[in-house]
Amino acid sequence: MTSTVDLSARTSELLAAVGAAPLDHDSGLAATSPITGAVLGHVPLTSDVDSVIAAAADAYRSWSLVPAPVRGGLVRELGELLREHKDALGELVSIEAGKIVSEGLGEVQEMIDICDFGVGLSRQLYGNTIATERPGHRMMEQWHPLGVVAVITAFNFPVAVWSWNTVLALVAGDTVVWKPSEKTPVTAVAVQALFEEAARRAGVSPAVAQLVVGDRAVGETLVDDSRIALVSATGSTRMGREVGPRVAARFGRALLELGGNNAAIVCPSADLDLTVRGLVFSAAGTAGQRCTSLRRVIVHESVADTLVDRLGTAYSSLPVGSPLDSSTLVGPLIDEAAHDGYVDALERARKDGGTVVAGGERVRVPGAEDGVYVQPAIVRMPAQTDVVRRETFAPILYVMTYSDLDEAIALHNDVPQGLSSSIFTTDLREAERFLSAAGSDCGIANVNIGPSGAEIGGAFGGEKETGGGRESGSDAWKSYMRRTTNTVNYSSELPLAQGVTFL
């Protein structure tokens, strides 16, 4: 196990490697590592958020006039720097967010991928030509930059979600102000340093994408400021209930990525070898701290016992420990509050008649006594009770049974959240039923793959209490732009629409 001193020293080395300034060890926001609970250093707080917003608004006026393919050149530079520093940034993600090595590197790869996507997108901000009823007229749509975009991110994906938003916003011609989670400010400092170097190489003002570090009050400032055209906020449903109405009250836009309570339906025809692998990663990966983590399994009663036995066997072999150890598959929870939620949910599940069939204990890791490690838990539930319908950000997998597919889909949809979902089946009819309008009500629906994890090519987001926002691929770029409908009269007449006559 890496010692407390080593983590702090290693963090300094990694920051230097990406060109970031050393941390102030005397004041500011204390950054800790969930691996050991060690304080990595103190990140300076942003003292004047208003000035940052003003600089972003000023930069927008010139940046919005830069041709989109030229804006893509900045994104290209960022992608190249991320490739160059992937290992260093990935390790920082592991140290500060507690992700295992491959997941830390995977998060940075996701940033690289969205940069590649953004470069191509910079030449594909297409509008439409629309048929008009009036002779001698042409009607079309154009997309224009929106303004300043505030990006508020969560600890579990401390850098990738910033990139999803910032790359699209920059290509769209917007400027960005980023408030990272107070739990993961160090990775934000590292990414900002890389971005500023990319801006220098591209000959662009770094004011087009800035960082603000602070507490809830900083986020509220971004939410309430009328100079912010779009607030993209990732976090809990509770947070979204506050952000959405406040942004709407000033007629701004909100893009919300909130809670998930993701399920997998396992059908009698499912390939159980594939199913077990898919379920275990989705439920235990990232210690259950993804918004797309698998929380519920709805399995046909004919295969339920077999599946639970196999899941239990797989869980018993999961190495829990320091995420910096290459053999570890389950790292720490982010903090003690997360552990409290884990314990409380298990207690509530037992009171509701649930039986813990695997895991459920705290794990003591040598050399990391202040780290919060738990054994991922499997709980068989007699019904979908309140605790099951509530998202707990920890590795708890509730298992329930069904007898027919309609019952399973109804159970699947009977939660407030609507982010990601999956079905495991080799029956084409079952798969297509799940993907139809009468099937999953989530923004993401998968077949023979778990709900956790997504490629950047598709739009990411969900429905209901998940917030309805869409980020990353497909046409999510439209959230960061404004649409204008243009009608051009190239005739010498002035016909009115709908046959209206006047004068």
Which sequence positions are flagged as catalytic?
257
Q: With the C-alpha atoms ordered 164, 165, 169, 170, is the resulting torsion angle positive or negative?
A: negative
φ, ψ dihedrals at 450, nearest 5°: -65, 170
- Rg (alpha carbons) of the chain, rounded to whole number: 24
Q: Count CB-CB contacts under 10 A for residue 350.
A: 14
Decide: 211 and 188 in contact? Cβ < 8 Å. Answer: yes
Residue with tokens 């969900």: 462
Rounded Cα gap, residues 99 and 35, in angstroms: 9
Q: Edge-to-edge strand order for the sheet containing 209-211?
A: 209-211, 175-179, 148-152, 228-234, 253-257
The Cα–Cα gap between 108 and 83 comes to: 8
Q: How far is CA 350 from the centre of its chain?
A: 31
Q: Which of 391, 454, 364 is nearest to 160 (CA)?
A: 454
Residue 208, classified by CB atoms within 10 Å of its CB into exposed (0-12), middle (13-18) or buried (19+), is buried
H helix count then E strand count, the chain: 15, 23
The identity of residue 267, as a single letter, is C
- Count of Cβ atoms closer than 10 Å to residue 245 Cβ: 11
Task: Print the SS3 string covering 187-219.
Answer: HHHHHHHHHHHHHHHHCCCHHHEEECCCCHHHH
Distance CA 444, CA 78 (A): 29
DSSP category for residue 334: S
Closest CA to 96 of 32, 24, 3, 172: 32
CA dist., res. 409 & res. 403, Å (int): 11
